[in-house]
Chain A
Amino acid sequence: MELGLLAIGAGLAIGLAAIGTGYAQGKIGAAGAGAITEKPELAGRILLLVAIPETMVILGFAVASMILLILSGGK
């Protein structure tokens, strides 16, 4: 039971972070696509901006890993 809750917690940690990242990337991507249409030379900078929110899901991954590795104690 406890292990199941830990698994749900880990899933939520990465899942919610992924939703947040997806939402932010969607907004940035839409604006970026418009900007690239006007100024193709901005492609590199837009790529950078789109990639920035990914830190959220990576931190979610870190938290999920910690939940599974540390809190579950190797069960």
Chain B
Amino acid sequence: MLLPMAKVHIIGHKACLDQTLATLSELGVLQIENVGEERMPPLPAMALDADRLRQREEARFLLARVEALLSVLPAVDAGQAASPVLALDHDAIVAALRAELDTAEPEIQRLARQYDDLLHEQQSLPRYQAQLTRLLPLTPELTELEGYETVAMLLDRRYSDILGSFEAALAGLTQQQYVVVSTALDGDTTGALAVFPRAISAEVHQLLGHEQVTQVRLPPELSGMSFQRALSYIEKRLATVGGDQESIRLELQEAARRWRSGWINAAMLLRDKLAQLEVINWLGETERTFLLVGWVPKRALPALRDALREAVGESIIIEQVALGDEELKRAPVLMENPAVTRPFEFLIRLLSLPKYGTIDPTSLMALFMPLFFGMMLGDVAYGLLVVGLALWAERRFRHNANLRDLSRILGLGGAWAVLFGFIYGEFLGTLGPILGLHPLWKSREDPTALPSLLVLTIVLGACHVTLGLILGIWQARRQGHVHQLEERAGMLVGLIAICLLIAVAARQLPRGLITPAIAGLLVGVALLARAQWPSGLLMAPVEMLGVVGNVLSYLRIAAIGLSSVYLARVGNEMAGLVGNVWLGVIIAALFNALNLALGAFSPTIQALRLHYVEFFSKFYEEGGRPFSPFGGSSTTRYSTSQR
């Protein structure tokens, strides 16, 4: 359900503002609105005074510093010890935190830089090592000469004739005081070394730049070394760099143990303070008072009054505003459902929140979606595997609310799949009868069961769509939307009439009902036409066909289920044909694994679609604004997850 909301005006003396905002932040039950956007006599927006501006800038700067350091410090288990700064007021917190940061920041930054350098070394040295190893065969021909520079080059063999022109240019520059040696390193690459006087280094590098030759550039610490010495240096560094990293990691861990939990708490307090300072611009003001406009869940209103009175005293006024149509349209939406159906709120939010004052379909979705999933999968073994997988995923992703919710939804669907597995007599597709599992109703593998299966899904679809239309009619009546009421009533009457006609045609009902059924269909089309007049004259029959299409769409429950059964059957029969027990088991396992993966994914998407398209289109009004209470990260936010 959607929680009823109350709109309040909170008026108080400016001297109480900080205390009021701190109390509201701690409570986390009030969504503050921007007074500038309210339809009320205009009040100037409150401006931050110099002291608050200073506090804001200081909090922003400190928060940036703390967050930068927290991003460097590794997560460690340092218990729940709160920082001593938590007991202080804001200015004292800021001063204590600044002192802590001034002490610890240079050392942590130094460690972080060193760690980054070592990481870079660990990644780059193997690349230099590979290049030098390839060029090493060239070096015996060279001697180390004082005042000479060596350049190593790698060339694509197709362009190795560049070396000739490079050598000619070098001869001109150095008056024959140079050496160039080259060799094929592999099928595609030629390696070359050039030794020339250091005095013409700039000209040679410019020349190499012109020829677009890839130079092997070594890091500064290797420059001037012979290749052999550079290689042995790299080997030594690679042997020790891991140990150096480990020692810095331990130092960072030590720093994290000392500072991290306290700084996390301090960062939360700073964020709260910043939120309190930044929201001030949304308040209205007179010379001596402030006005705060906000939304609060109705049942949390007494607690809000009590908390503010206790914190600020009687000098604050909390006035509940009467809600007109405009206010109701802007009311924020907060869903509240029992624990078992709460995971389905995620699927509602995936589409869009319902408007305030309309129906929250979470509970209905929690009933029908797993049912549809179970009808499609309908296999004892697959169902049990899905339940097991869901339980594992719920535990594995317990800190990720969305994945946890999805796991619970999958678990419920798996439970229904086990139940329908007994109804269809299915175990790993077609192995049910072999294992003595006989269908309680009909086996989907049996071709004679197909008509019953199709009828079952169509009847289920008709019931589901009818429920949606009834909800739509109730909602339209409650909101006084006459056109919507006529449209949905027309669809409902028409759908019932079409069902009657089909039942009569199938000789399940007496022929005498044909006349009232046709009359009902005409009434339904007429209501639809009237609701959308004048285009409804043409569109009403099309809309009525659309409703029939919606009902037929539920055939996918049978279709997806049948495809799953036949895929399992193909796998099991192929396994039986190969003649080798182990190969057969592997083939059967592969097919059943594929079937299970499809069986978990496809029914979820199809069940979701049946809700979003066929069911919700009859009553659901999307576009709700999520309730976003003012409240810091360190406080108890009024949200579903914490109730």
Contacts and interface: CB of A to CB of B under 8 A. Distances in A.
B156 to A, nearest CB: 37
Given A52-B613, A69-B450, A62 B555 contact: yes
A12 to B, nearest CB: 17
Contacts, number: 48
Contacts of A45: 351-352
A10 to B, nearest CB: 12
Contacts of B555: 58, 61-62
B552 A58 contact: yes
Given A43-B350, A48-B612, A51-B609, A58 B553 contact: yes
A54 B550 CA distance: 12
Interface residues of B, number: 19
B346 to A, nearest CB: 10
Contacts of A44: 349-352, 612
Contact of A47 (B352, B451, B608): B608
Nearest to A66: B454
Contact of B559 (A43, A47, A61): A61
B207 interface: no
Interface string B598-612: 000000011011001
Interface string B197-221: 0000000000000000000000000
A25 to B, nearest CB: 12
B352 A58 contact: no
Contacts of A58: 552-553, 555-556, 559
Given A44-B351, A48-B351, A69 B552 contact: no
Interface string A48-75: 1001101100110110010001000000
A55 B350 contact: no
B549 interface: yes
Contacts of A69: 450-451
A4 B450 CA distance: 20
B272 to A, nearest CB: 26
A43 to B, nearest CB: 7
Nearest to B451: A69
A48 B609 CA distance: 6
11 contacts: A43-B350, A44-B350, A48-B612, A51-B605, A54-B606, A55-B549, A58-B559, A59-B549, A62-B454, A62-B555, A69-B450
Interface of A: 43-45, 47-48, 51-52, 54-55, 58-59, 61-62, 65, 69
